[in-house]
Amino acid sequence: MQRHIQRTRRRSLPLAAAALAATALIVAGCGSSNKSSSSSTSSSSSSSSGSSAKGKNLTLVAGVKGDEFYITMNCGAQAEAKKLGVSLDFQGPDQFDAGQQTPIVNAVAAKKPAAVLIAPTDSAALYAPIKQLADGGSKVVLVDTTLDNAGVAVSQISSNNEAGGTQAAQALGKLIGGKGKVLVVNVKPGISTTDARAKGFESGIKSQPGLTYLGQQYSNDDPAKAASIVKAVLAKNPDLKGIFATNLFSAEGSASGLREAGKLGQVKIISFDAGPKQVQDLKDGLVQGLIAQQPADIGAQGVQQAVNAIEGKPNTKVIRTGFVTVTKANINDPATQKALYKASC
C-alpha cells in the first residue's frame, strides 16, 4: 500500500490532488493491512479446550446489511473462513440501528455459534446483547465498531478512525486553501467509528485558524437526510467551502445535496469509505477524496482471531488496519482499484 502511495506522490498532480496524496502517506502510516505491522495492546489466552476449529460455525453480524463496506468485509471473512475450514453465516439489520440489530444478536445467541464477529451499531446499547453471546460460550470479536466496555471481546479490529478524521481535516484544509466554512456530515451519536472520525476531524481543524467550523449534523445513515442537511446548510451559508462526510451513506447524500444545489466544484468533499457510488461521485468531480478502509482485511483478521480463540491460542486484543486515499489522480492505479469496496463477492 505504501509503495502505491509513494508512486502516487511522484506523479505531477494538480495542487489539491497533491495535497491529498501527501496526506495519504500519513494516513497510511496510521495502520497497516498486514498482520506484522498491526498494532496490538495485549495478548490473552482463550480458556477454551484447545480443540480444532475445523467444521465449527461462526456468524458475522454487520452494522447494516446492504452497505458495501460490510459486504466487502464479509467477502474477506468468507475467503478466510474457507481457508481455515470453518463456516461463516452473514447477518445484519436493514438499517444501522441498535433496535434492529439487537433481536438479530439475540437470535444468533440462541444458536450458540462457536464465535461471532460483530460490528455493534451502538457502543452502549449493544453491550448486554453481546455479553449474552459471550456468556453463552461464543467467542466474540468486535469488527469495525466497538463497545464502551469491550472486555467481552477476545479481539477488536478496526481502522484508526480518529487519526483518519484528523487526516481528513488536513486534506480538506489544503483543498480549500486553508480558509472558509467547513461542515461535518456524521451518522448518529453512539457509533464508535464515526464518533472517533468526527473527533479526529475537530482536532485536525484546531491547527487551521482560517477554517470556520459549522459543527456536525447527523444523517441517521440516510443519504436523503444527508442531502437535505447539505442543502439547508448551503441555503444559510452559500459560502460553505468544505464537507467531511464520515461514512459511505453520509458521503453519497452530501454529494447528491451538492449536485442538487448546483454547487459542483464550489464545495469540496472528503469522505470515509469507497463504495461504487462514492467512486462515481469522485469521477464526476463532486467528491475530491475517499479514505478507503480495508474491510476485507478486517473480516479476514476477524476470522483468524475467532479461530485462535476457539482453539485456545492467544489473541491480539487490538488490531488497527490501514487506509488507501483515493483521488481522481490515482483511481485507475491497480492498487487503488483493489482498495475499492465491492457490491458482491
Interaction site with ligand T6T (CB under 6 A) = 63, 67, 69-70, 144-145, 191, 193-194, 247-249, 272-273, 293
CB of 123 to ligand T6T, least distance (A): 11
CB of 279 to ligand T6T, least distance (A): 14
CB of 84 to ligand T6T, least distance (A): 24
Give residue number: closest CB to ligand T6T. 248
Nearer to ligand T6T, 48 or 194 (CB): 194
- Residues 6 or more apart whose CB falls under 8 angstroms from that of 164 comprise 27, 30, 197, 200, 272, 291, 293, 323
Rg of the chain on CA atoms, in Å: 20
- Residues 6 or more apart whose CB falls under 8 angstroms from that of 208 comprise 169, 170, 173, 178
Please check whether residue 139 is in contact with residue 154, taking contact to mean a CB–CB distance below 8 angstroms: yes
Rounded Cα–Cα distance for residues 198 and 244 (Å): 9
CB of 220 to ligand T6T, least distance (A): 12
Nearer to ligand T6T, 248 or 255 (CB): 248
Please check whether residue 217 is in contact with residue 187, taking contact to mean a CB–CB distance below 8 angstroms: no
Nearer to ligand T6T, 170 or 294 (CB): 294
Beta strand pairing status for 268-272 and 318-321?
unpaired
Burial of 314 (0-12, 13-18, 19+ CB in 10 A): middle
Rounded Cα–Cα distance for residues 147 and 247 (Å): 19
Nearer to ligand T6T, 93 or 180 (CB): 93
Nearer to ligand T6T, 64 or 233 (CB): 64
* DSSP H helical ranges for 176-222: 192-206
Nearer to ligand T6T, 63 or 242 (CB): 63
Nearer to ligand T6T, 48 or 301 (CB): 301
Rounded Cα–Cα distance for residues 41 and 46 (Å): 16
Nearer to ligand T6T, 142 or 176 (CB): 142
C-alpha cell at 180: 472558509
CB of 70 to ligand T6T, least distance (A): 6
Nearer to ligand T6T, 176 or 272 (CB): 272
CB of 218 to ligand T6T, least distance (A): 13
In sequence order, the β-bridge partners of residue 156 are 142, 318
- Residues 6 or more apart whose CB falls under 8 angstroms from that of 340 comprise 274, 276, 279, 292, 326
C-alpha cell at 178: 486553508
Please check whether residue 101 is in contact with residue 59, taking contact to mean a CB–CB distance below 8 angstroms: no
CB of 191 to ligand T6T, least distance (A): 6
Rounded Cα–Cα distance for residues 82 and 88 (Å): 9
CB of 72 to ligand T6T, least distance (A): 10
CB of 66 to ligand T6T, least distance (A): 10
Phi, psi of 142 (to 5 degrees): -90, 120
241, amino acid identity? K
